[in-house]
Amino acid sequence: MLTGRRILLGVSGGVAAFKVAYLARRLIERGAQVRAIMTSSAGEFLGAQTLAAITGTAPYEDFFGGESVSPHTELARWADLIVIAPATAATMARLANGLSDDLLSATVLAFTGPVVVAPAMHTEMWESPATQRNVSLLNADGVHLVGPESGPLAGGDEGPGRMSEPEPIVDRIEALLGGGSMAGTRVLVSAGGTREPIDPVRYLGNRSSGKMGTAVAVEAAARGAAVTLVTTADLPVSDSIDVVQVETADEMAEAVWKLAGGVDVAVLVAAVADFKPQDRADTTLRRASGPPDLKMVPTPDILAGVASQENPPFLVGFAAETGSVEQAAEKASSKGVDLLVANDVTLPDSGFGVDTNQVTIIRPNGASDGWPVMRKRQVAARLWDLIAEERAST
Ligand code: CTP
């Protein structure tokens, strides 16, 4: 519930503004007080009178002409949280770059609490390098992005860029304001590809970027969980996540095994090397010495180690397959996991480095469920929903 919480709703100019009336209503139903700021183009898509009727207060539209001397600082002090929905590419660019040339961006600049942004725009605009740069800046500033989803867009187009529905936006707001669905749940996530040194300069590695595991950790934190992320990647995460930086399979094994006993759920997404060079040269190998004779030895199976602990947490493994996810069914039954998330990393929208993934959920009894291509953050959200259901039914 959001009883008594003060939420400032920023509406910028996009077709998705029509969903904002529902969003405002949902927030009020959960007990929040809502005030709204509309940018100059928002009024083309949503009537100010509609928001006034739902929230009980006329939306703010301009710095000037109202009763307040300094509306941006007053609103920033009033609010517990600011949510911007829909956030157009222009509004995101303003926020990412700290502009204050309209009431909404100035208010955000003057605000010190949590900011939730629900982008909505055409796919080309969403995927443009400039918008993606702004997304990275906003993430690094701790802004909470919800969506966008993939689906039908204005003008008959289709693809990523559709604003999230009001429900996930409200969920995120509740999580941020303390009533998160995973509050009290302790979570351990591993992410990234391990690097096995050959000499001080060279290593054997893999193509994992750490994006999927990081998304799993960030989503759990957004839902209020206490999250520890053991990772080889250096991607931005929310401040609340406890990050343990590692490089090799041995380091990851040590960290994960130490932490696994104290968590409720472990999701091991990392792409861990199965073998490492037996010896690591102390100085760089020289060309003149000829090709090195690398003797490889196995690394620990981290997942198996967690599964064999006395009271293992709810355990989720990931399996990167090439060509088909059939072999993953065998892993689901042999590895002692509660769920296995398999993906074919050779598909264009799936696997290493990209922001989307197409996964198949496999249970230890072999039952499988293929999910559509989604952004990694959406895969993470659906995975946490599933984990919650599974844990509730056991
Ligand atoms: N894993 C692990 N420790 C390892 C290797 C893998 O904990 N040394 C974990 C991964 O984090 C992942 C799961 O096991 O959650 C599946 O990884 P995968 O490499 O697909 O499994 P392998 O048993 O190594 O199978 P394969 O022979 O296909 O490499």
pLDDT in tens, 306-321: 999 999 999 999 999 8
Q: What is the CATH number of domain 6-177?
A: 3.40.50.1950
| Confidence grade of residue 88 (pLDDT, cut at 50, 70, 90) | very high
The answer to whether 63 and 106 have CB atoms below 8 angstroms apart is yes
| Confidence grade of residue 383 (pLDDT, cut at 50, 70, 90) | very high
Please identify every residue annotated as catalytic. 206
129-180 residue pLDDT tens: 999 999 999 988 889 999 999 888 877 888 899 999 998 899 889 888 876 7
Name the residue type at position 377.
R
Tracing tokens 């000037």 back to the chain, one arrives at: 64
At a CB cut-off of 8 Å and minimum separation 6, what does 330 contact?
A: none
Pairing of β 33-38 and β 81-87: unpaired
CA of 119 to the centre of ligand 1 (A): 36
Model pLDDT, residue 259: 97
Segment 323-341 shows an average pLDDT of 89
Query: From the CA atom positions of the chain, what is the Rg in Å?
Result: 23
Q: Is the pTM above the cut of 0.75?
A: no
CA of 259 to the centre of ligand 1 (A): 19
Spatial distance between the Cα atoms of 2 and 29, rounded to a whole number of angstroms: 9
CA nearest to 138, candidates 60, 62, 74, 82: 82
For residue 87, CA distances in Å to 37, 82, 148 come to: 12, 12, 10
**3-state class (DSSP) for residue 302:** helix
Quick check: CB of 272 below 6 Å from ligand 1? yes
Share of the chain above pLDDT 90, in %: 75
Name the residue ranges covered by the structural domains of the chain.
6-177, 186-392
- Residue whose Cα lies nearest atom 3 of ligand 1: it is 301
List the single range of 91-100, 145-154, 251-260 with lowest mean pLDDT: 145-154
Atom of ligand 1 nearest to the CA of 299: 8
Model pLDDT, residue 175: 82
Spatial distance between the Cα atoms of 126 and 153, rounded to a whole number of angstroms: 12
Of residues 85 and 160, more confidence is placed in 85
Quick check: CB of 218 below 6 Å from ligand 1? no
Q: What is the CATH number of domain 186-392?
A: 3.40.50.10300
Identical fold for domains 6-177 and 186-392, yes or no, is yes
Spatial distance between the Cα atoms of 142 and 136, rounded to a whole number of angstroms: 10
Model pLDDT, residue 179: 65
CA nearest to 122, candidates 15, 7, 267: 15
